[in-house]
C-alpha cells in the first residue's frame, strides 16, 4: 500500500512525499530492498 502511494506521489511530482512513502514501505516490508528503491528511481535509501 505504501509502495503504491509512493508511486502515485512520484507521478504527481511530489518527490519528498514519494520518498516518505517508499521509506514506510521499506520499514513495513524489509524485503523492499535497495534494488526496489532504485527501480522507483529515488536512489539510495539513505539519501
According to the model, what pLDDT value does residue 20 have?
Answer: 94
According to the model, what pLDDT value does residue 32 have?
Answer: 72
Total Cβ atoms within 10 A of residue 23? 16
**Domain ranges within the chain, ordered by starting residue:** 2-39
Please say whether the beta carbons of 25 and 32 come within 8 A.
Answer: yes
Which residues of the chain register pLDDT less than 70? 33-47
According to the model, what pLDDT value does residue 30 have?
Answer: 78
According to the model, what pLDDT value does residue 17 have?
Answer: 96
Which pTM was predicted?
Answer: 0.66
What CA–CA distance (Å, rounded) separates 35 from 11?
Answer: 19
Amino acid at each position: 500500500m505504501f509502495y503504491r502511494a509512493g508511486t502515485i506521489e512520484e507521478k504527481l511530482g511530489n518527490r519528498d512525499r514519494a520518498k516518505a512513502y517508499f521509506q514506510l514501505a521499506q520499514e513495513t516490508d524489509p524485503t523492499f530492498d535497495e534494488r526496489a528503491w532504485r527501480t522507483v528511481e529515488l536512489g539510495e535509501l539513505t539519501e
